[in-house]
Amino acid sequence: MKVLILGSVALPVPPPMQGGTERIAYWQAIGLAKRGHTITLVAAKGSTPNPAYTLVEIGGGDTVAGSSRQISNLKPQISNEGMYTEGSRNLRKEAIYLSEVEQYILDHGKEYDVILNNMRAGETLFVPAAKAVGVPYVTVMHLPIFYELAAYFAATNTAVITISNAQRMGFDNVRYAGTVYNCVEPELLAIDPRGLPQAQHDPRGQGPDARDYVLMMGSVAPHKNQKDGILAAKALGKTIILAGKIGNQAYWDAEIAPLVDGKTVIHKGEMGLEEKISLLAGAEALVFPIIWPEPFGLVMIEAMAVGTPVVAYRNGAVPEVVVDGKTGFIIDEAQGVGGLSVALNRINEIDRAACRKHVEENFTVEKMIESLATALENVAHP
């Protein structure tokens, strides 16, 4: 099939730092091409060319709050008159980029057998354009479904791929093409699940004491709930490292910054893949106390791929990703910080090799592409 993959206008594909959706879009393109499909990837400026696909650059890749690319492009946020722009400027810029993608669909959509969308807002915006050119269209839900969105999908008979079964709860009237679990970077599976050599996996540079820290990795925001993770680590006298951009400045200022001391609570910001792998492999555990309906939780499989177990609240897709008592511990949100602390205190009961095996059996690029190819066939040839 000829597949048009709509990757991201918000960040390059793959992203230079963190960015789960963009990494998944990249591996969609690579994996489907390996299966013999002809791929065109629409992605933001700065995306990586590859012989496996035709790259069409649309969008500045500079509209994600707190991202390294946006921070490096601060000057354009000031108008020609020398005054700061309105707070909605990034939203307005992204609307421009999405309109350019829509025009690409109108101009070139008939050249493809199916359109696979990963772009936020594109989940609905591109539906009329796809219908106008008469090409089957399916959107991957990287974010939660909500009532108005489900109603739109039902009214337009739009095909939807979920990344967990939990996403579907309460929305039975949507036309689902399949559930396609996310995958890990192959580089993560090249790491010995017992851990990297000491010189490589001690991110604090403090010598031979392996795994003397726990880790939270992701955007700092209320729904990611870094505060509970910090308090649980403090209760056990453990060091905790926070890795990720500041996605919500008010939450950072009020709840997190006062707890960050650079010694027992460390914030490292966004990072590239190599540093990310090292940090994950060196952690005693990944702490994931999310308080929202998590669509998937890519960082959980990234941690388990290098043998690092997960301690998480039982929300969203967590029970589909983590095997309680085998690859980590799942606790009820009502148990709070105390429950996290108890689970972290038992983390040595988890076999790190079992964490790796779970990922190899369920969350590889090959597994993702196998499910995705089936879903695309269902959409292109119903």
- 206 has a pLDDT exceeding 50: no
Fold match between 2-183+364-380 and 186-362?
Answer: yes
Give the pLDDT confidence score for residue 187 in this predicted structure.
86
Domain 186-362 CATH superfamily: Glycogen Phosphorylase B; (3.40.50.2000)
DSSP element (H, E) containing 110: none
The rounded percent of the chain whose pLDDT value lies above 70 is: 89
Give the pLDDT confidence score for residue 211 in this predicted structure.
67
- pLDDT tier at 274, thresholds 50, 70, 90: confident
Average confidence (pLDDT) over 261-277: 90
Identity of residue 292:
W
pLDDT in tens, 345-355: 999 999 999 99
Decide if 193 contacts 306 (C-beta within 8 A). yes
- pLDDT tier at 301, thresholds 50, 70, 90: very high
Give the pLDDT confidence score for residue 71 in this predicted structure.
41
Give the pLDDT confidence score for residue 62 in this predicted structure.
83
The CATH code belonging to domain 2-183+364-380 is 3.40.50.2000
How far CA 57 is from CA of 7, 46, 49, 142, 215, in Å, comes to 10, 8, 10, 21, 35
Pairing outcome for strands 114-117 and 38-43: unpaired
pTM above 0.85, yes or no: yes
Strand ranges (E), the chain: 2-8, 38-43, 53-57, 114-117, 137-141, 159-162, 175-179, 213-217, 239-243, 265-267, 286-288, 310-313, 328-331
Average confidence (pLDDT) over 109-130: 95
pLDDT in tens, 131-151: 999 999 999 999 999 999 999
pLDDT in tens, 60-98: 878 775 544 444 443 444 444 455 677 788 889 999 999
Q: Is 80 exposed, middle or buried (0-12, 13-18, 19+ CB in 10 A)?
A: exposed
Sorted by where each begins, the domain ranges of the chain are: 2-183+364-380, 186-362
Decide if 374 contacts 331 (C-beta within 8 A). no
| Candidate from 85-89, 160-164, 275-279, 296-300 with smallest mean pLDDT | 85-89
